[in-house]
């Protein structure tokens, strides 16, 4: 501890000079309108020249000053490597468009997408390189430490100071960058007012673009995309999105005007997204899709069904293009955007949007099964489940039926294509939807859920998948108990019938674990619906002839045992 304090005081001039130099470079580049993103790399390059100059000091002074040549050369090589790293970090990198199973590739792809992390790291590396240069310079004039312990403490202090100054400099850079973008867009964004937008949407013909306050912002965004400059386009898209949402929520326009204004903004954002897709600017495409999803969610909260329907159509168009290009990761953004709009519509009792969304997601799920893309498939299953639960909670029976129907299609196809785990995931979600629909007395919705679970159960039966059969039987039992509790007799009848159809497979194939689970499910239902259950068990017995009675006896024995335990 005694050695740390003197070394820290000796190191203080380095920290002060480092901070001053960083601020000077940032301010000079900002005043001259230069690219602030590369400050870390520029400082690293400057440090490299400082260290080269210091190596020539003994020549200038005719050897009056001695330095550690080997140590300084090592620092010079380290600084060169740091500069190369900053250049690599600042280079535009296209993230992968497919999921990778390799952990290293996943980390590398994550870093490619995280521009902020890479830019911040370049600032820290630049600060560290400059710190090494300052340490060399001050060592020449007598501020260095010669012992190993002091050198180690100086190195630790150099790292800590570099991280602190580099991160602080990056924070200032982000602030100055936003100021630059704000100045670039400010004059045009101020024109995007309620009255100016209304004048535009009420105009026609050639007057439209002449008076459109949105067009200058769109032109800047398009230009930045064409140049491959990501930051201005992302900033401009956020301006369009928030201006549209502001018009929807706080403008006080009439419904018809709101619809036209929303469609106007959506058209511009969609054109930007399609341009970005043609230019392979993935981040701008993703930002456009997410913006459309948020605007759609806001539109349905304002009761604007037609614009929301238009937004869904536009979002789904991206899926058609991405399927041809095989961009798997961006499909998840589309799924999330569709889900966001649909959940918002269900929450505000707009029945048509969730139904249409379910159809779209059903198509996405079917394509994911064909390509064995489990990531997209799982996201689609979750999206359908969230829509179905929101629809059930808001008594939208039509949406519940359509959602469960699409989940059935995906589930049966998944089982047939050896995606058993995903099929059980769907069964579990359908069970929760069925219970929620039963609790809200949506009997037709409950019946569709039951049929969907049953069809998936039959697919598991064909495949002799015991775990899948067990999951289906449990799900039917739980939905049946909730339906019985709510006095929904038709739904109870459908559950018992579905159990009968599914249970035939384990009995026929002698799947003992599934026979036990099926028998317990019937016994559980018999607590409330004994007569119906007993009649169905008699029907099951009729499936087996006199020479096959042994297949049924195991099931009958398990049923009687479970029924006796339940009282």
Token pair of 366 as six digits: 């079917």
Q: Exposed e or buried b for every residue in 4-35, given b needs 16+ CB within 10 A? A: eeebeebbeebbebbbebbeebbeebbeeeee
Task: Read off the pLDDT band of 445 (50, 70, 90).
Answer: very high
Residues 6+ apart with CB under 8 A from 364: 319, 331, 334, 335, 376, 380
Half-sphere exposure of 469 (CA within 13 A, CB side): 28
Instruction: Say whether both 159 and 209 belong to one domain.
Output: no
Length of the chain (residues): 567
Cα gap 261→242, rounded to integer Å: 13
Q: Give CA 485 to chain center in angstroms.
A: 39
504-513 pLDDT, tens digit each: 888 888 888 8
8 A C-beta contact, residue 341 and residue 330: no
Q: In Å, what is the CA distance from 140 to each residue of 17, 57, 65, 72, 135?
A: 16, 9, 7, 11, 9
8 A C-beta contact, residue 432 and residue 407: no
pLDDT of residue 60: 56
Task: Read off the pLDDT band of 145 (50, 70, 90).
Answer: very low
8 A C-beta contact, residue 527 and residue 492: no
Task: Read off the pLDDT band of 206 (50, 70, 90).
Answer: very low
Burial class (CB in 10 A: 0-12, 13-18, 19+), 237: buried
| Among the listed residues 192, 185, 43, the one whose alpha carbon sits nearest the alpha carbon of residue 125 | 43
Instruction: Say whether both 237 and 148 belong to one domain.
Output: no
8 A C-beta contact, residue 455 and residue 500: no
Average pLDDT of the chain is: 82
Name the phi and psi angles at 525, rounded to 5: -70, -30
1-23 pLDDT, tens digit each: 455 666 666 677 778 888 888 88
Q: What do you get for the CA distance between the two ends of the chain, in Å? A: 76
Residues 6+ apart with CB under 8 A from 434: 404, 446, 449, 450, 453, 475, 478, 479, 482
Instruction: Say whether both 170 and 255 belong to one domain.
Output: no
Instruction: Say whether both 274 and 223 belong to one domain.
Output: yes
Q: Which of 290, 325, 360 corresponds to the end of one domain?
A: 325
Long-range Cβ contact pairs of 69-76 (< 8 A, separation 24 or more):
72/136, 75/51, 75/132, 75/136, 76/48, 76/51, 76/52
Is residue 353 in some structural domain?
no
Percent of the chain at pLDDT > 70 equals 85
Burial class (CB in 10 A: 0-12, 13-18, 19+), 148: exposed
Q: Which of 325, 348, 368 corresponds to the end of one domain?
A: 325
Half-sphere exposure of 410 (CA within 13 A, CB side): 40
Q: How many CB atoms lie within 10 A of CB 223?
A: 13
Is residue 386 in some structural domain?
no
Is residue 163 in some structural domain?
yes
Is residue 384 in some structural domain?
no
**Vertex 20: Cα angle to 18 and 25 (nearest 5):** 95
Alpha helices in 251-304 (DSSP H): 255-278, 282-301
Is residue 19 in some structural domain?
yes
Instruction: Say whether both 58 and 111 belong to one domain.
Output: yes
Q: Which residue has the higher pLDDT, 82 or 397?
A: 397
Instruction: Say whether both 175 and 58 belong to one domain.
Output: yes
Instruction: Say whether both 68 and 145 belong to one domain.
Output: yes
Looking at the structure of the chain, the number of domains it has is 2
Cα gap 500→539, rounded to integer Å: 8
* Radius of gyration, alpha carbons of the chain: 33
Instruction: Say whether both 29 and 171 belong to one domain.
Output: yes
Is residue 88 in some structural domain?
yes
**Vertex 443: Cα angle to 437 and 449 (nearest 5):** 60
Instruction: Say whether both 180 and 216 belong to one domain.
Output: no
Is residue 47 in some structural domain?
yes
Average pLDDT over residues 108-123: 71
Token pair of 557 as six digits: 């024995």
Average pLDDT over residues 411-434: 93
Cα gap 273→242, rounded to integer Å: 16
pLDDT of residue 160: 84
Q: Which domain holds residue 96?
A: 4-184
Lowest mean pLDDT among 84-93, 94-103, 193-202, 447-456: 94-103
274-330 pLDDT, tens digit each: 998 888 888 888 899 999 999 999 999 888 889 999 999 999 988 878 777 666 778
Instruction: Say whether both 195 and 180 belong to one domain.
Output: no
Half-sphere exposure of 295 (CA within 13 A, CB side): 38
Q: Give CA 512 to chain center in angstroms.
A: 42
CA 308, 310, 313, 317 dihedral sign is negative
Q: Which of 184, 199, 231 corresponds to the end of one domain?
A: 184
Percent of the chain at pLDDT > 90 equals 30
DSSP structure class, residue 94: P
For residue 481, pLDDT over 70 is answered with: yes
Count of H-run helices and E-run strands, the chain: 24, 0
Task: For the chain, give percent helix, strand, coil, nearest 5.
Answer: 85, 0, 15
Is residue 534 in some structural domain?
no
SS3 251: coil
Token pair of 3 as six digits: 């050695």
pLDDT of residue 99: 59
| Among the listed residues 313, 182, 293, 174, the one whose alpha carbon sits nearest the alpha carbon of residue 244 | 293
Lowest mean pLDDT among 179-193, 238-252, 396-410: 179-193
Cα gap 214→373, rounded to integer Å: 39
Instruction: Say whether both 232 and 169 belong to one domain.
Output: no
Q: How many CB atoms lie within 10 A of CB 417?
A: 13
Q: Could you tell me the pTM of the whole model?
A: 0.78
Packed helices 466-485 and 443-463: angle between N→C axes, nearest 10 degrees: 160
54-63 pLDDT, tens digit each: 777 665 555 5
For residue 69, pLDDT over 90 is answered with: no
Instruction: Say whether both 167 and 201 belong to one domain.
Output: no
């Amino acid at each position: 501890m005694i050695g740390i304090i003197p070394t820290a005081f000796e190191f203080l001039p380095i920290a002060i000079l480092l901070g001053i130099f960083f601020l000077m470079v940032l301010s000079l580049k900002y005043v001259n309108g230069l690219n602030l993103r590369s400050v870390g790399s520029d400082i690293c390059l400057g440090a490299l020249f400082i260290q080269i100059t210091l190596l020539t000091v003994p020549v200038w002074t005719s050897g009056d000053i001695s330095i550690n040549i080997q140590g300084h050369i090592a620092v010079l090589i380290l600084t060169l490597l740091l500069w190369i790293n900053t250049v690599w970090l600042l280079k535009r990198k296209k993230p992968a468009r497919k999921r990778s199973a390799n952990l290293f590739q996943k980390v590398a792809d994550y870093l490619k997408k995280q521009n902020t992390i890479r830019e911040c790291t370049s600032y820290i590396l630049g600060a560290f390189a400059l710190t090494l240069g300052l340490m060399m310079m001050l060592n020449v004039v007598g501020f260095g430490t010669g012992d190993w312990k002091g050198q180690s403490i100086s190195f630790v202090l150099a790292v800590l100071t570099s991280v602190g100054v580099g991160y602080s400099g990056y924070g200032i850079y982000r602030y100055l960058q936003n100021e630059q973008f704000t100045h670039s867009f400010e004059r045009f964004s101020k024109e995007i007012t309620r009255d100016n937008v209304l004048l535009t949407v009420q105009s026609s013909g050639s007057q439209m673009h002449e008076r459109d306050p949105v067009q200058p912002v769109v032109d800047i965004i398009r230009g930045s995309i064409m140049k491959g400059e990501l930051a201005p386009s992302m900033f401009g898209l956020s301006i369009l999105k928030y201006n549209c949402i502001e018009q929807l929520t706080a403008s006080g326009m009439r419904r018809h005007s709101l619809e036209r204004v929303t469609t106007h903004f959506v058209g511009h954002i969609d054109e930007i997204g399609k341009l970005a897709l043609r230019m392979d600017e993935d981040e701008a495409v993703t930002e456009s899709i997410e913006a459309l999803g948020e605007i759609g969610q806001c539109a349905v909260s304002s009761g604007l069904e037609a614009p929301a329907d238009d937004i869904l159509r536009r979002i789904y168009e991206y899926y058609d293009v991405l399927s041809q290009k095989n961009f798997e990761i961006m499909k998840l953004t589309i799924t999330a955007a569709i889900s966001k709009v649909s959940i918002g519509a269900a929450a505000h009792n707009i029945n048509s949007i969730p139904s249409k969304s379910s159809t779209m997601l059903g198509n996405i799920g079917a394509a994911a099964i064909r390509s064995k893309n489990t990531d997209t498939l799982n996201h689609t299953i979750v999206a359908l489940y969230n829509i179905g639960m929101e629809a059930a909670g808001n008594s939208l029976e039509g949406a519940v039926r359509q959602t469960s129907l699409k989940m059935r299609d995906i589930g049966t196809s998944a089982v047939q294509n050896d995606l058993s785990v995903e099929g059980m995931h769907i069964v579990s979600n359908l069970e929760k939807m069925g219970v929620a629909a039963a609790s809200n007395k949506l009997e037709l919705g409950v019946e569709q859920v039951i049929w969907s679970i049953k069809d998936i159960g039959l697919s598991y039966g064909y495949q002799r998948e015991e775990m899948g059969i067990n999951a289906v039987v449990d799900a039917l039992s739980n939905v049946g108990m909730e339906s019985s509790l709510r006095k929904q007799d038709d739904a109870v009848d459908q559950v018992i019938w579905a159990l009968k159809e599914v249970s035939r497979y384990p009995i026929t194939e002698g799947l003992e674990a599934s026979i036990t689970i099926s028998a317990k499910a019937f016994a559980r239902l018999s607590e409330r619906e004994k007569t119906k259950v007993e009649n169905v068990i008699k029907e099951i017995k009729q499936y087996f002839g006199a020479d096959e009675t042994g297949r049924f006896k195991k099931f009958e024995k398990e049923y009687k045992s479970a029924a006796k335990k339940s009282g």
